[in-house]
Each structure stands twice: as structure tokens, then as C-alpha cells.
Amino acid sequence: MASLSRPEQIVPDHHQSWVHTRLLLERAFEEMLLHGFTLIAAGFGSFAIFDGLSTTHGRAEVPRIFALAATAIGVILILTAAQHFRAMSAWADADEFGSGPAPELPNEKRPLYLAAAAMIIGVISFIALLLLPG
């Protein structure tokens, strides 16, 4: 009976450590993306909650300032995390491959696409909060 085992693809150990480093960078970036998006959602959502509470007490400006600050901090956090991710990925690639081309990992650009979408949502939320009647 013939063996149905697949041939193993041999990858040198030093490339395995590079892949591990890149995946850790991606994981850290996605965690920061989650924190930034949480701040954006909390800022926009808190305005709706606190706006109803503050109109009865005459402090309508406090929830708006908090919502604007949380949304802006979320967008800045995502932007900073994306910049850090790109710089550290380039550093890991240069450390492993020098000036030569680095191999592409599957779905390598996905975290940056997620960051762009979250930043667009954050900017739209920030503009909406600015334009809401106070």
C-alpha cells in the first residue's frame, strides 16, 4: 500500500524566527487597533448615553468634550500603531534579508486595511460629533 504522506516543506530555522517575529508584530498591532477602535466606539456611544443624562442637569458640553477626546485619541492611537507596525516590519525584514526582497506572508496587508477602515470610521465619528448641535 502506498504511503499518502505529504512531503514536508523544509524551512530554515532563521526564517522561522522571522515569521514568528512578523506574526508577533501583527498580533501586537491588532491589539492596539482593538484598543483604538474601542476608544472610538466608547466616545461616540458615550455621547448618546451622557447626552440624555446631562440635559436634565444642564451640563451638555461635558459629554461632547469627552466623546471628542476619546474619538480623537482612538484615531491617533490607530495611526501611531500603524506607523509603528510598518517601521518594525521593515526593520525585521531588513534584519533578516538585508536590502534584498523579503517574502510576502499570506494576508500581509490585512491589518493595515483594518486600520484604515477603523480610522475612517473614527474620522467620520469625530466630524459627526463636531457637527451635532450642542
Q: Tell me how far apart the alpha carbons of residues 96 and 100 are, in angstroms, rounded to a whole number.
A: 9
Residue 90 lies in a domain: yes
CA-based nearest residue to 41, from 67, 6, 19: 67
Categorize the per-residue pLDDT at 39 as very low, low, confident or very high, splitting at 50, 70 and 90.
very high
Helices (H), 12-108: 13-57, 61-97
Rounded average pLDDT over 41-61: 71
With respect to residue 54, please indicate whether it lies within any of the assigned structural domains.
Answer: yes
Residue 60 CA to residue 107 CA, distance in Å, equals 45
Q: What is the pTM of this model?
A: 0.78
Residue with cell 526582497: 101
Instruction: Work out the angle at residue 87's Cα, subtended by the Cα atoms of residues 84 and 91, and round it to the nearest 5 degrees.
Output: 135
In a domain, 81, yes or no: yes
The half-sphere exposure of 47 on its side-chain side, counting CA atoms within 13 A, is: 23
Residue 55: what pLDDT? 57
pLDDT at 51 over 70: no
Q: How many domains does the chain have?
A: 1
Range of the domain at 118: 43-99+107-134
Number of residues written out for the chain? 134
Lowest mean pLDDT among 11-20, 22-31, 77-86: 11-20
Domain assignment of residue 13, yes or no: no
Asked if residue 3 belongs to a domain, the reply is no
Is 120 part of any domain? yes
Distance in angstroms (rounded) separating the CA atoms of residues 101 and 112: 20
- Determine how many CB atoms are found less than 10 A away from the CB of residue 128: 13
**Which of 12-16, 20-24, 32-36, 75-79 has the least mean pLDDT?**
12-16
Residue 83 confidence (pLDDT) above 80: yes
pLDDT value of position 98: 83
Q: Cβ distance 40 to 71 under 8 Å?
A: yes
59 is a domain residue: yes
Residue 14 domain flag: no
- 54: pLDDT strictly greater than 60: no
